[in-house]
Amino acid sequence: MFLEQLERASLHLGDLAPLLETLRHPKRVLIVDVPVRMDDGRLLHFEGYRAQHSLARGPGKGGVRFHPGVNLSEVIALAGLMTVKNAVIGVPFGGAKGGVRVDPRALSRSELERLVRRYTSEIGVMIGPDRDIPAPDVGTDERVMAWMMDTYSVNAGRTVTGVVTGKPLALGGSRGRREATGRGVFIAGRSAALHLGLAIKDARVAIQGLGNVGGAAAACFHTAGAKIVSVQTSAGAYFNPQGFDPSVLAGLRAGGRSVGEHPGTETLAADAFWDVESEFLIPAALENQIDEAVARRLKTRVVVEGANGPTTPAADDVLAGRGVQVIPDVLANAGGVLVSYFEWVQDTTSYYWSEDEVNSKLDRLMAEAFTAVWDAAQASKLSLRTAAFVLACRRVLQARELRGLYP
């Protein structure tokens, strides 16, 4: 998918098109063995990765994913998407990504900590606050980032808060970071609504995934007056014509209870989620959720990609033909990396901002990035995804051309 999106952008890069080959290959990839002593005394081995796709515009930046499906090609592709995402929003980072093939839910807390610390030590030769800065992703959180920061710091012989972002506040984290990706999804959706003449108030919203991204996006849309009419989680799909209250949903999930217990809720067949009518559909789970068949069924005006790679290129074409606007992942879910950049800046200066300051900067920069992509799409009659890739590739390739080739 990533390579196909590069090909679509290549037709609009002009003199920079011959340099595109540099973006078809990662700069470097590390595969590591992660041995972990389990609580019962067994020694198990897990495979881990860290990929740096491009460092032309600055140090690598990208999350660490713990999931049974993690593999090398996925990590490389996600690193490439991070290169594009960072360039689209204009932060001075390149693209990177990491992961371990493991189900973190199957580990005890002590086993997970040992896994994190060994993985961090193994990739320590690649990461650093001016080299490559990991962050949370699927299956990881601020506790994992705290262990990563501590492990790197112990090995470095000094406290290095800026080696990771998404940390707890007490260790140099940024206010607003936890909700940043979901808040950015809302800002992208609101920006699209302004350009399309849609009202947010009373707009119907369907959300796949109620994790950190989907939950925060739901709360922002709800606060703005929209109705969350349908949600899908790993446990099933649900419909509520009067709208879900995100705070009630959060309470139910925190208590281990079903979303179906929300008042006025109807349980749907999992596949029926795609048939619910809405103004905004937010896939905020995993990749490859919307294929050609699903794209033909959707009854929505705007798809706002909270997850990475949830829509296939073929589905993109179907949605474009049906007049459904897609706000691509490299723009829509960039709020997290934008506030990660803020966290990195705050760690570097040892001066920390209020949550209002963080959210204000996030709102302004996300809205500016959306407008730049929208204007580029309108000027060249491109989809928002292709326009975002063209804009990002130009920025990365211009930096690559100006730096030259050494030796």
Which amino acid is located at 229 in the chain? Answer: V
Residues 311, 305: contact at Cβ < 8 Å?
A: yes
Phi (first) and psi of residue 131, to 5 degrees: -125, -50
Residues 245, 222: contact at Cβ < 8 Å?
A: yes
Residues 189, 327: contact at Cβ < 8 Å?
A: yes
How far apart are the C-alpha atoms of 62 and 83, rounded to whole Å?
9
**Closest CA relative to residue 60, chosen from 27, 101, 32, 88:** 27
How far apart are the C-alpha atoms of 84 and 93, rounded to whole Å?
10
- Positions marked active-site: 97
Output the CA torsion sign for 67, 205, 316, 11.
negative
